[in-house]
Amino acid sequence: MHRALTCLDLEIVREPSTDPRRKQAYIERVPKLADRLYSNSFAVEDYEAVLLKHEIKIKDLKPDCYSDLDIDQMDEEAVLALLTALVKKEEAVGGDFLAACVRSELIDSILGRLETLDWENRKIPQWIEQAADKALSDLENFPKNEETSSYIAIEPYLKYVDKEGRTKTRGLSTQDEFDIDHALRRQAKDHGLYLDSSAYERMIIGLPINIPFRVCKVEIGSEGPKNVFSFSIGDSLITRTSFHILLYANSIEVEYYPMDLNSRKRITEPTSQQLNALRKCAIDVNLQDWNEDYSTPTLDGWSWSLTINTDDLILTSTGINAYPAGFKDLVLCIADTFGCGDFRTILDSIDLEA
């Protein structure tokens, strides 16, 4: 469906004029994005209203804003509205705005989501859809702290009876394996389940059908747990370190991603004392008064982001080499209260007075 867009060769270099071929790519290929967007009727006329619904302010769109956008969760209309907005902004400001969006990988992220949407919306064989629904019914009572995989879950339903009444087991093609995993994860929300494989996201362990997952209870219809508190910090040389508090249907969990790429994510259930300590710290540092952005003009350095989505406070605050009053106290509270030692290590490496 979106092949006219996603197959574009949009490789752009920072100095296109240094090579005639690269200069041609800069001059011709980027405008082709706008041409194909309009010629294939992918542009969204009311794109401003669509983005407003997703709480995206057009004036804030810039080449490096993809980290602030939840592109992976956007539907087709929202993705095309975002793409339309970028093209419209290019027309308004001129220059190399779209080329900069390509360099920052924002355009790649958007086109990648369109490819994913094509994949998600294709027709899956009926037997897989039916088998996935039965397997998910079995998983509704799966032990909370154990793991399984899409293959193990679907295996009991691979048997079928042929025309001669003989029981056989289906052989699976690679396409079938992808479709089974996709069907299970897509239908999981209808059962109030979330199949969590995030502990393995830094590892290469084969096809999705064999990747282990935990079975977590969420609200029926929800894509996953509610992220009520999220903080991350990192620089250009090391892995980003992050901390999240997730609200499930029947529990609360803390996720902590260490700096070490070889370390698995740590999952714990917070105590009421830990949560109360974080709430008190939030009040003490006046989180409700933090600005949306504390960035300073720079090409590298330390960047951080904080997102809160609770009944008491909704906040998004980010920064690069600049920090609000109380920043150190908040980071130390997370580090010491929840045992996230990498945050304390990072604090020793940055200049909070900069």
- Please report the pLDDT score of residue 17 as a whole number: 45
Q: Is the pLDDT of residue 264 over 80?
A: no
Confidence of residue 281 (pLDDT cuts 50, 70, 90): very high
Strands 241-247 and 226-234: antiparallel
User: In terms of Cα–Cα distance, which of 82, 97, 95 is closest to 43?
Assistant: 82
Q: Average the pLDDT over 266-289 and give the result.
A: 94
- Please report the pLDDT score of residue 6 as a whole number: 76
Strand partners, 319: 304
CA distance 260 to 227: 23
Out of 76-90, 242-256, 300-314, the most confident range is 242-256
Spell out where the chain has E strands: 147-148, 159-161, 167-169, 193-196, 213-217, 226-234, 241-247, 252-257, 266-268, 303-309, 314-320
- The size of the chain, in residues, is 354
Strand partners, 318: 293, 305
- Please report the pLDDT score of residue 330 as a whole number: 96
Q: Average the pLDDT over 149-176 and give the result.
A: 90
Helix (H, G, I), strand (E, B) or coil at 281: helix
Q: Is the pLDDT of residue 8 over 80?
A: no
User: In terms of Cα–Cα distance, which of 10, 35, 36 is closest to 25?
Assistant: 10
CA distance 209 to 151: 5
Phi-psi domain of 109 (left: phi exceeds 0; alpha: psi -120 through 50; beta: other):
alpha
User: Taking a C-beta distance cutoff of 8 angstroms, is the pair 42, 80 a contact?
Assistant: yes
Q: Distance between the two ends of the chain, CA-based, in angstroms?
A: 49
Strand partners, 242: 232, 257
Out of 79-93, 181-195, 257-271, 283-297, the most confident range is 181-195
Q: Is the pLDDT of residue 320 over 90?
A: no
Phi-psi domain of 167 (left: phi exceeds 0; alpha: psi -120 through 50; beta: other):
beta
User: Taking a C-beta distance cutoff of 8 angstroms, is the pair 198, 210 a contact?
Assistant: no
Question: What are the DSSP calls for 153-186, one per residue?
Answer: HHGGG-EEE-TTS-EEE----HHHHHHHHHHHHH
The tens digit of pLDDT for each residue in 207-237 reads: 899 999 999 999 999 989 999 999 999 875 5
The tens digit of pLDDT for each residue in 86-106 reads: 988 888 876 678 878 877 788
**Model confidence, pTM:** 0.65
CA distance 303 to 287: 18
144: which residues sit within 8 A by CB, 6+ positions away? 214, 215, 216, 251
DSSP 293: B
**Residue 263, both tokens:** 């370390």
- Please report the pLDDT score of residue 12 as a whole number: 47
127 versus 30: the higher-pLDDT residue is 127
Question: What are the DSSP calls for 57-123, one per residue?
Answer: -GGG--TTGGGGS-GGG--HHHHHHHHHHHHHHHHHH-TTHHHHHHHTTHHHHHHHHHHHHHHHTSP
295 versus 174: the higher-pLDDT residue is 174
User: Taking a C-beta distance cutoff of 8 angstroms, is the pair 76, 117 a contact?
Assistant: yes
C-alpha torsion sign, points 236, 292, 307, 191 = negative
DSSP 222: -
- Please report the pLDDT score of residue 308 as a whole number: 94
